[in-house]
Structure 1
């Protein structure tokens, strides 16, 4: 089979599209023919070595596809089932072996591409909106990179919960995309904290969902109301420098968390609940999935370059 391999960490140029041995499922595993693999910022962290993995490795965590072989001891899954996953390292490939307990069924009314585009980011947005800061009607939330894959999902889910959404974007085109997703107000990054204060009559927002990191972190804290929540779920612009906890005290007894998805889908019941909600909203039309770019699997390097250069909106997929 063909796959995208990282043999040495570095820039997008280290991504090697090459032949790999055909995998086979062991006990408790399934073999899946990948229909689409999601491209996420965490993939770039793995590629760069920011989140180290043993070398060499097939990159990619997220995808969807059809079960083509079932290992011993697997129940509840059959050949032909369409499934999706969020933490299956090796997903930039034509085939991948996955633990049966970590895949979720894709229901009727949701395509494999939609599932691949929404699995990791959709469930990330779900736990951020429902658990990290449970958004309530009347809350005001700030969503950074509101026209990106995560930003569009966060905006829509916050609106489903009755919130007012302020989004940040970098261009007029991205502003229009964010507004179509439901953002009530859209501002540029330059001086965004002051603009947020103006839009909230000086009070600030209840929560900031920040996947940008270094470039927006200080302004995000300055955008919060007293006892507001800063949810730093990513670092697209780089890691945030060390923070003196007294800063949170001085800015109004703020809360700061740096969560990750795997801690919010520990039990299979929780994984299935989040997947059921996300896929259910897609099937009903309440959640729109914006797949902005589809690349052949061999063009993974281009996908990474486009993602990190912020040349894209919505979700990027690799198609084997």
Structure 2
């Protein structure tokens, strides 16, 4: 570690789809031999760089974008550190980490919806979508969307969604021209998302979990005053202040009982293969954590 870093002894490590993409070789990875996966974790400060003055041994730190974090000890640049208050557990804090910050970014930095607007989310039961749904509902937004299986319908309703559809139920045209905003992290559903929009509506495009979208003709968008908004979370989380501000905003929803987090699935780090297979299966309804 360098003089501007904190050495963190991890209690839990967050597993994300990006870790699977990196392992498959189709996502950016930091060069290292042997390669160590993982970018997200939480733990306690055990050593402090000489240039750092405002941290103490034992402080709890969350980080969401530090490579090589599938480890018991991780060097975290102070700018990447997020302070975790005593009232929240490690499991809940890390479950609010990358997924929560992504949901907050989508809702408050990109979409900026107004009270009583009606939005649609593809994949309501996903980790980001579950948090996003609750944030939007707390902000006075009406939420509809899809799930992949019948047993995930109740999860979406419990999070506050008003209308929940199976994926094949929205292709008949009945919902076209209905929504002010469509949140699309699937990718290949982008043409459908544009059809679901009202005139002057906007798609928040933030991922390609289901594959690349087909090309979109901007002239057609212009004729109906429809927009596609996208962005990179890391253009917004640029320093400690920006990370801490958004994390603290998520904590306010927790304190007001407007945001609940499902108990995460905890798997030993030594059984990482099992954790990756569980995430790829789509059978997990909450955050998957690796425990050193």
TM-score (norm 2): 0.93
2:208 alignment counterpart: 235
Instruction: Report the equivalent of 2:187.
Output: 213
- Greater Cα shift, 169-178 or 295-304: 295-304
Query: What are structure 1's unaligned runs of at least 5 residues?
Result: 1-24
SS of the residue aligned with 2:182?
Answer: strand
- TM-superposed deviation, 1:55: 4.8
Q: Distance in 1 between matches of 2:85 and 2:174?
A: 39
2:85 aligned with 1:107, yes or no?
yes
Task: Say if 2:80 and 2:239, in contact at 8 Å, map to a contact too.
Answer: no
- Unaligned regions of 5+ residues in structure 2, if any? none
Q: Is the 8 A contact 1:107 1:279 kept in 2?
A: no
Question: Residues of 1 paired with 2:172 and 2:11: CA distance?
Answer: 44
C-alpha spacing 1:157/1:312, structure 2 compared with 1 (3 Å): same
Contact 2:193 2:203 in 1 (8 A): yes
Instruction: Note if 1:301 corresponds to 2:273.
Output: yes
8 Å CA contact 1:35, 1:113 repeated in 2: no
Task: Tell me what 2:282 maps to.
Answer: 310
| Distance of 2:239 and 2:179 partners within structure 1 | 32
The answer to whether the 8 Å contact 1:118/1:278 transfers is yes
* 1:27-60 Cα shifts (integer Å, max 9, x gaps): 1000101111111122222222222323543111
What is the rounded CA distance, in whole Å, between the counterparts of 1:60 and 1:224 in structure 2?
Answer: 36
- In the TM superposition, what are the counterparts of 1:1-320 in structure 2 within 5 Å? 25-53=1-29, 54-56=31-33, 57-194=35-172, 197=175, 203-214=177-188, 216-250=189-223, 252-320=224-292
Cα RMSD between the aligned structures?
A: 1.8
TM-score by length of 1: 0.85
Aligned residues of 1:292 and 1:316 also touching (Cα < 8 A): yes
User: Segments of 4+ in structure 1 off by > 6 A?
Assistant: none
